[in-house]
Amino acid sequence: MNAADIRVGVRTRSLSRPRLRYIRQLGATDIFIDHANVDEEPDEFNDREADVTLEVGRDAIPTVEQLETARDHAEAADLRLAGIHSLPHALYGDIMFGREGAREALEQITTLVENLGAADVPILGYQWNPRGVVPMRTNPVELRGGAVGTGFNYDELESPDELAPGLDREYTEAEFWENFERFLETVLPVAEAAGVDLALHPVDPPVLESMCGIPRLCRSVENFEKAMDLVPSDSHGLKLCLGCFSQMGEDVTEVIRTFAARDEIVFVHFRDVVGTVPKFHETFVDEGNFDTPEVVRTLYDVGYDGVVIPDHVPQMEGDSDWRHRGRGYTIGYLRGTIDSVAPDREWED
């Protein structure tokens, strides 16, 4: 193997020429498009040109032509459009809760999968996480030099035992597994026919079996194995978020080996935290619970041939809302680590 087998990618909402040029200048090769119809994460980079985004959401499914245009934007900057980074909760929430509107949402998601396949965009990331319904983080923390990272402390939650806003009852884990199985039974055959891989992200934060009346299915290695076995498919795998498994207190190198042996790693979120649930905070990629070079070496050992992307990055001095400085630092560190631990790297004397 060589360093090119593990590629560094970026998640981005903007597809403007300045953004894509910056990403390529950092040495990244692949991009994942963030959905553009929600305010979950700001995304600014002071582009002087009109911004270019791809709206993905309820009643906003990009056509084949729109996906091909996005792919062309990426290729013009010498980048590969690897996939849609994640589905917004607005699109899958009715399915997750088994509410009226689930059938319509399933139809829209299957249409998206078909369009991705027709446009030769190979990956659709998703999560089974009530994002925006229960808190993902509590208070930010100060990192080295005054940089800022996100944090979570269960004891800081105001009302973790109360129902989340908009719910009129608690949901059982059995209900959520049943609704998830229905989703997989509908979408995976379409993905197989379209040549698209679905990549499932862990629940974040992976605390408790249930919070605010909502089950937290994808909270452990065992539950991920169950999720993959529920409807077996070669088109289903993990958006392997190292940070989430680190939050669980897992040895992430063993997690990599477990799911690589099952051939279920679609792409990798490369981030880390200090601490574990119920209290942790995110940090720079060169700090945290795990050893970054060891993790990269493990990816080589298992024969991983795919993309690693920075996920949440610290906010550094002078950063934009997209955190282009924090993202740039992380990409540079990852590229250097990937090159330095490559098993066939030949160093000159």
DSSP reduced 3-state for 1? coil
Quote the pLDDT of residue 2. 43
> Under 8 Å CB-to-CB from 349, ≥6 apart: which residues?
none
pLDDT grade for 131, boundaries at 50, 70 and 90: low
Q: How confident is the model at residue 185 (pLDDT cuts 50, 70, 90)?
A: very high
pLDDT, mean over the chain: 91
Q: What does the pLDDT look like over 142-170, one tens digit per residue?
A: 999 999 999 999 888 887 778 888 888 99
Q: What ranges make up the beta strands (E) of the chain?
A: 6-12, 30-33, 80-84, 123-127, 141-142, 148-149, 151-153, 197-201, 210-211, 214-215, 236-241, 265-270, 273-276, 279-282, 306-310
For residue 113, give both structure tokens: 């999968």
Average pLDDT over residues 240-263: 97
Domain ranges of the chain: 3-341
Q: State residue 4's pLDDT score.
A: 43
Per-residue pLDDT reduced to its tens digit, 56-102: 999 999 999 999 999 999 999 999 999 999 999 889 999 999 999 99
Place of tokens 């929430």: 93
Neighbours of 347 (CB within 10 A): 5
For the cut 50, the answer to whether the pLDDT of residue 141 exceeds it is: yes
- pLDDT confidence of residue 340: 93
CATH class in words for 3-341: alpha beta
Confidence of residue 42 (pLDDT cuts 50, 70, 90): low
| Average confidence (pLDDT) over 268-290 | 96
* Mean pLDDT (whole number) for 47-61: 78
Q: Whole-angstrom Cα distance, residue 202 to residue 225?
A: 12
The answer on pLDDT for 180 being more than 90 is yes
98: left (phi over 0), alpha (psi -120 to 50) or beta: left
> What digits encode the pLDDT tens for the residues 206-221?
888 888 888 999 999 9
Do 100 and 41 contact (CB within 8 A), yes or no?
A: no
Residues in the chain, total: 349
244 close to 201: Cβ distance less than 8 angstroms? yes
Of 186 and 58, the one with more pLDDT: 186
More confidently predicted of 58 and 349? 58
